[in-house]
Chains A and B, each alone.
Chain A
């Protein structure tokens, strides 16, 4: 009987090595997130205009709070939509 270790694969098993996520604000030393810059804030919302969770963007808690605040302010000033479809393709 062949043992587990004897099994040979024709193609190597696909093991995706995930890139470690990092907080872009901490890395580049950004201290303040501007609510007036709608284009920048679009990186932190999905196509429907919802704020992306931390687990996807890798933003640290401290800056996620600031991102959320900035997005909400931008929405109030009609610089970002509350809800839409295809936000990213419109640009």
Chain B
């Protein structure tokens, strides 16, 4: 049976942008090889950690959302553990509320990006009109 999973992992900040992308690609290919269907992925870029991990205070975050059989997860996490570039990882099984939430989140993000791309000057003006209508 296919389950819906979400996985976030943190890579060391010593990597260059290309090395980071390569690592991400590696895990992506691994998932695809095992017959997983990647629903969504997100790169959060370099982020400050709230507490140091392995004496590093920042890290590259990356998120995958995928549908896969439960049998591949154990092996997938083993790949994380074998890779020195990965400092932390977390894989979570998503329930129906989580799936609904992530969909909503994605759509919101898309809308925001679209709004930003399409004439940023016009957006505030539209908001003003709306507030006036409410009054």
Q: How far is the CB of A3 from chain B (nearest CB, A)?
A: 56
Contact B88 A78 (CB under 8 A): yes
Contact with B along A23-38 (1 / 0, CB 8 A): 0000000011011101
Instruction: For A80, list chain B residues within 8 Å (CB).
Output: 50
Contact A34 B101 (CB under 8 A): yes
Docked complex: B43-64 residues within 8 A CB-CB of A: 49-51, 53, 59, 61, 63
Contact with B along A1-35 (1 / 0, CB 8 A): 00000000000000000000000000000011011
Q: Please tell me which one of the listed residues A36, A75, A84 contacts residue B8 in the complex, with CB atoms under 8 A apart.
A: A36
Docked complex: B6-40 residues within 8 A CB-CB of A: 8, 10
CA distance A34 to B88 in the complex (A): 18
| Residues of B that sit less than 8 Å from A by CB | 8, 10, 49-51, 53, 59, 61, 63, 88, 90, 92, 95, 97-98, 100-101, 105
| Residues of A that sit less than 8 Å from B by CB | 31-32, 34-36, 38, 73, 75-82, 84
- What total of A-B pairs shows CB separation below 8 Å? 38
Q: What does DSSP make chain B's interface, helix, strand, loop or mixed?
A: strand
Q: What does DSSP make chain A's interface, helix, strand, loop or mixed?
A: loop
Instruction: For B101, list chain A residues within 8 Å (CB).
Output: 31-32, 34
Q: Please tell me which one of the listed residues B8, B10, B100 contacts residue A32 in the complex, with CB atoms under 8 A apart.
A: B100
CA distance A32 to B93 in the complex (A): 13
Highest count of chain A CB atoms <10 Å: which of B53, B63, B90 = B90
Q: Please tell me which one of the listed residues A32, A34, A77 contacts residue B90 in the complex, with CB atoms under 8 A apart.
A: A77
Q: Please tell me which one of the listed residues A31, A73, A81, A84 contacts residue B92 in the complex, with CB atoms under 8 A apart.
A: A73
Contact B8 A77 (CB under 8 A): yes
Q: How far is the CB of A39 from chain B (nearest CB, A)?
A: 12
Contact A78 B50 (CB under 8 A): yes
Other than the given A31-B100, A32-B98, A78-B88, 19 more pairs (CB < 8 A) read A31-B101, A32-B97, A32-B100, A34-B101, A35-B92, A36-B63, A73-B90, A77-B8, A77-B10, A77-B88, A77-B90, A78-B49, A78-B50, A78-B51, A78-B59, A81-B50, A81-B51, A82-B51, A84-B51
